[in-house]
Amino acid sequence: MTAQPTQTGKIIISVDAMGGDSGPGVVVAGIAKSAKKNPEVGFLLHGPKDVLSKLVSKRRVLDGRVVFRDCPDVVTMQDKPSQVVRSGKNTSMWSALESVRQGEAHGAVSCGNTGALMALSMMRLRKLPGVNRPAIAILWPSRNPQGFNVMLDVGADVRADAKDLLQFALMGASYARNGMELTRPRIGLLNVGTEEHKGRAELKEAHALITDFADQANFDFVGFVEGSDIPGDKADVIVTDGFTGNVAIKTGEGTASLIGDLLREAFKYSPLSRLASVLAITSLQRLKKRIDPRRVNGGVFLGLNGTVIKSHGGADATGVSAAIKLAFTLAKSGFAEKLAARVASTAELEQDAAQSALQTK
């Protein structure tokens, strides 16, 4: 499936303008931000055309860069995924994915309902041959030189067996290679301790499978890692099930946000500390930029025929623009095709590895 750009020479990103917490105005502001920075990007924008065209016409930088796909319905945060799959045909989310399916766009971005987006993506784009459970991968600020670690799954599914975890390792390694230019990423398997006897049965089995597979798949397996290694420098890619991953990132986000608020409070406490905050402002802004979740906004759905990015529901223009940049980078590197090829070529090896691991247990 090769994408057919509607605007010659551009990489086209299909954008669901609706369903985010802040409405389509913020999404249009986000794509304008991207358009300004990146002359190579063009957009397919999905939603009620009368609303969207007014918003777009106010942004000169979007002249000739946006093609509209008119759709009347919106998937809300309250809609159940199963409902959307049955009756969501006229929604902007459905339409945004359809453009990827038809090869009109190189990738899709949506700020909408995660469960619905995953369910629709699985139904319309289908899983890659050899993939059992797709996963959502995010970037997390870390002590590594690249500044971020990849973590997956963070919520596509609440379960993952040993074979799923092996596939997450493969897909995460491929993402790290293409999205972060790490030639030989280090993979860690999340557990409650680093000793091999620790943790649940499926983790011990996954440990054996991934060990057997690391060399063929061109990554290093560092074994079990702990929650403290998610922002650490022991591994570049953290593999876990979607329940644990989701709780972990939300705990990290909540903790970071609490510290940020307490820090602001601390700087307001006295005239001296207010003066200090003025003097430190550039340093603090640099720190904020380094760990700002908006700048790494975007969960990538891995394991589908096509690239889908889930932007945070509460993303502002900077957040939307970051998600679009990620979609662009992955499209430009041919990530979807490379991942498909890797999963296909390794599906057989994987079968062998799984069998031999089970035999030697």
CB of residue 256 to a copy of itself, shortest distance in Å: 6
Minimum Å gap between C-beta 213 and a copy of itself is: 23
Please tell me whether residue 85 binds a copy of itself under the rule CB under 8 A: no
What is the C-alpha separation between 356 and 209, in angstroms, rounded? 9
C-alpha 269: how far from its chain's center? 38
Q: Which of 86, 89, 269, 341 is in the footprint of a copy of itself by CB under 8 A? A: 269
Identified binder of a copy of itself from the candidate list 267, 292, 329, 347, rule CB under 8 A: 267
Residues 298-327 that bind a copy of itself (CB under 8 A): none
State the Cα–Cα distance between residues 185 and 196, nearest whole angstrom. 21
Closer by beta carbon to a copy of itself, 229 or else 350 = 229
**Shortest distance in whole angstroms from residue 258 CB to a copy of itself:** 4
C-beta of 233 vs 337, nearer to a copy of itself: 233
Indicate whether 86 belongs to the interface with a copy of itself (CB under 8 A): no
Using the contact rule CB under 8 A, the part of the chain among 130-138, 255-263, 311-319, 347-355 near a copy of itself is 255-263
Is there a contact between 24 and 17 (Cβ–Cβ < 8 Å)? Answer: yes
Interaction pattern, residues 133-152, with a copy of itself; x per rule: CB under 8 A = --------xxx---------
Residue span binding a copy of itself (CB under 8 A) among the ranges 68-76, 171-179, 214-222, 261-269:
261-269
Cα 197 versus chain centre, distance: 32
Q: Per-residue contact track with a copy of itself, 209 to 238, x per CB under 8 A? A: -----------------xxxxxxx------
DSSP labels for 315-327? Answer: --HHHHHHHHHHH
Specify the DSSP element, H or E, that contains 273.
helix 271-279
Minimum CB separation of residue 231 from a copy of itself in Å reads 4
Residues 171-200 that bind a copy of itself (CB under 8 A): 190, 192, 197, 199-200
Could you tell me the CA-to-CA distances from 223 to 135, 185, 192, 226 in Å, in that order? 20, 13, 12, 10
Stretch 21-60: interaction string toward a copy of itself, x if CB under 8 A? ----------------------------------------
Kind and range of the H or E element at 239? strand 237-239
- The reply on whether position 68 binds a copy of itself by CB under 8 A is no
103: left (phi over 0), alpha (psi -120 to 50) or beta: left
Cβ-contact 183, 142 below 8 angstroms: no
Q: Is the dihedral of CA 21, 26, 31, 36 positive or negative?
A: negative
Kind plus residue range of the DSSP H or E element containing 286: helix 281-291
Q: How far is the CB of 245 from a copy of itself (least distance, A)?
A: 9
Q: Look at residues 249, 282, 281, 277 and name the one whose alpha carbon lies nearest to residue 265.
A: 277
* CA-CA-CA-CA torsion sign (154, 160, 165, 166): negative
Q: Binding residues for a copy of itself, per CB under 8 A?
A: 80, 141-143, 155, 158-159, 190, 192, 197, 199-200, 226-232, 240, 242-244, 246-259, 261-263, 265-267, 269-270, 272-273, 275-280, 282-284, 286-287, 290-291
